[in-house]
Structure 1
Amino acid sequence: MLSVILITKNAAPHIDRCLTAVRWADEIIVVDSGSTDDTLIRCSAYTKHVFIHTDWQGFGVQKNRALQYATGDWVLSVDADEEVTPILQQAILEAMQNQSYSAWQLPRLSRYCGRWMRHGGWYPDYVTRLFKRGTAQFSNDLVHEKLMVSQGKIGQLTTPLLHYSFANLEEVLQKINAYSSASAQMQFARGKQGGLGKAILHALWTFIRTYIIRLGFLEGREGFMLAVSNAEGTYYRYLKLYYYQHNVSDKT
């Protein structure tokens, strides 16, 4: 038995594509964090297992909440902007019959402003998403959470999970702001240091790594845009971290 779990908030533009692609699963679990669009109505057309937790504590905590509702022997974690293709469905079903592994990594192919990105560090972008229930849980990170497998070996599938990450520049800018804030909060909690110099140097390195070292230039215009947006996210993360530290020092 397979349980599909996902978390949502205002996911109406993507959710039908995501849930239609996993209707074959034995169970679909949705945990919503307070959608104000028609996400909940759309989800209820696919599953009766829709739960609401509005005390947002980060992606990791919310995904662990979804995991607690799962009852299947196997669990597949997907995001609302991802799609399991029929070919990947077959690969997942075959992987579940393989007794040598307790978890599987899936290569993820992401779309950036209308282009599927195979360079710039975006592919294969392996993510551990399929696992036996009871062998893994998510890290309690605000953002960029990881699935931590505590039992058994991890295998790798070759068929990609499709990720509709950024439809346009508006979404890019929104996520740069949200993710840089969450990442800065995590680094602040871990005692990391920010500053203008660090922001500039790390942003420059991020651009070089994305565009040159990881061959982002092969993606044409979108490759350059990706390198710039990655650098922007890094730049603002270190600046926000500096201001978190500055605000604390002012109060003390």
Structure 2
Amino acid sequence: MLSVVIITKNEAGHIARCLESISWADEIVVLDSGSEDDTVAICRRYTDNVYQTDWPGFGIQKQRAVDKASGDWILSVDADEVVTPELRSEIETALRQEGYNGYEIPRLSSYCGRQMRHGGWWPDHVLRLFRRDCGQFTDSVVHERIIVQGQIGQLTTPLLHDAFINLDEVLHKVNCYSTLGAELLYQRGVRSSLSKAILKAFWTFIRTYWLKAAILDGREGLMLSISNAEGAYYKYLKLLELQNRQSR
């Protein structure tokens, strides 16, 4: 039995497409953290297993969703991701095989309408399919991952990811993720300065645009490199702000 788990908050623009793409699963579990749009209503059209709770961070929230599932296998997807019919077929084949307790899936992400093949975005192998009794999410507030005991295989058909639909979404996510990233760094004992924030932004741009060849993705490759640099800059600037606040 396969359970698909999704965490949501204000995903009305994405969630129907996602849910439609995994409507074939034996069970769908949605864990929402206070959506103010139609997300919950849309989800209830596809599953009765819709729950609402607080927001403790990505890792803990995704594990909460797993804990509410009953399937032997878990497929974790985000609200802005789509499982194609071809990926469904490969997943169903993988579930019938022996020897693996988890599978990585290549993820093909789009940025402002363009599927990105460079800049470190492809191939982006993410571990999303695993046996429930062999895997668990880390409790990281951001950049969570799944730890699986046993052999891990790799699928070949990509999971489609609408990472950023437009610039408004880019700016929103840069703001959110830079805040979460700064908090995580602070908890780890990392410290920052204005010069460090500037250098991190500069290096992030160079690495994304030149070293990881985002230049080959045209205009969107340049836009991605700049927004990545902005994310690094604001993350370390917010870390500096945290330091100053705590020292008062």
TM-score by length of 1: 0.97
Aligned residue number for residue 142 of structure 2: 143
Rounded to whole Å, the distance in 1 between the matches of 2:242 and 2:10 is 28
Rounded to whole Å, the distance in 1 between the matches of 2:42 and 2:210 is 42
Superposed displacement of residue 142, structure 1: 1.3
Number of aligned positions between the proteins: 248
Superposed displacement of residue 200, structure 1: 1.1
Superposed displacement of residue 130, structure 1: 0.1
Aligned residue number for residue 184 of structure 1: 182
Aligned residue number for residue 241 of structure 2: 243
Rounded to whole Å, the distance in 1 between the matches of 2:204 and 2:155 is 28
SS in structure 2 opposite 1:236?
Answer: helix
Supply the AA of the counterpart residue of 2:238: K
Rounded to whole Å, the distance in 1 between the matches of 2:73 and 2:211 is 38
SS in structure 1 opposite 2:209?
Answer: helix
Aligned residue number for residue 106 of structure 1: 105
Supply the AA of the counterpart residue of 1:12: A
Farther-moved stretch of structure 1 (197-206 vs 108-117) = 197-206
Rounded to whole Å, the distance in 2 between the matches of 1:134 and 1:62 is 18
SS in structure 1 opposite 2:91?
Answer: helix
Give aligned-pair identity as a percent: 58
Supply the AA of the counterpart residue of 2:29: I
Rounded to whole Å, the distance in 1 between the matches of 2:36 and 2:136 is 28
Rounded to whole Å, the distance in 2 between the matches of 1:137 and 1:239 is 32
Supply the AA of the counterpart residue of 1:192: V
Superposed displacement of residue 100, structure 1: 1.5
Rounded to whole Å, the distance in 2 between the matches of 1:170 and 1:136 is 35
Supply the AA of the counterpart residue of 1:165: A
Deviations 1:150-175 (A, max 9, x none): x1111111110000010110000010
Pairing of 1:27-42 with structure 2 (within 5 A): 27-42=27-42
Aligned residue number for residue 170 of structure 1: 168
Aligned residue number for residue 26 of structure 1: 26
Rounded to whole Å, the distance in 1 between the matches of 2:156 and 2:192 is 39
SS in structure 2 opposite 1:80?
Answer: coil
Structure 1: gaps of 5 or more residues? none
SS in structure 1 opposite 2:177?
Answer: helix
Pairing of 1:86-125 with structure 2 (within 5 A): 86-125=85-124
Aligned residue number for residue 156 of structure 2: 158
Structure 2: gaps of 5 or more residues? none
Aligned residue number for residue 46 of structure 2: 46
Rounded to whole Å, the distance in 2 between the matches of 1:231 and 1:27 is 39
Rounded to whole Å, the distance in 2 between the matches of 1:144 and 1:192 is 16
Deviations 1:19-78 (A, max 9, x none): 00001100000000011111111101100100111x211011110110001111110000
Deviations 1:204-251 (A, max 9, x none): 11111100111100001000000000000001111110110111111x
Moved over 3 A (4+): none
Rounded to whole Å, the distance in 2 between the matches of 1:69 and 1:56 is 16
Aligned residue number for residue 229 of structure 2: 231
TM-score by length of 2: 0.99
Rounded to whole Å, the distance in 2 between the matches of 1:202 and 1:36 is 35
Rounded to whole Å, the distance in 2 between the matches of 1:177 and 1:99 is 43
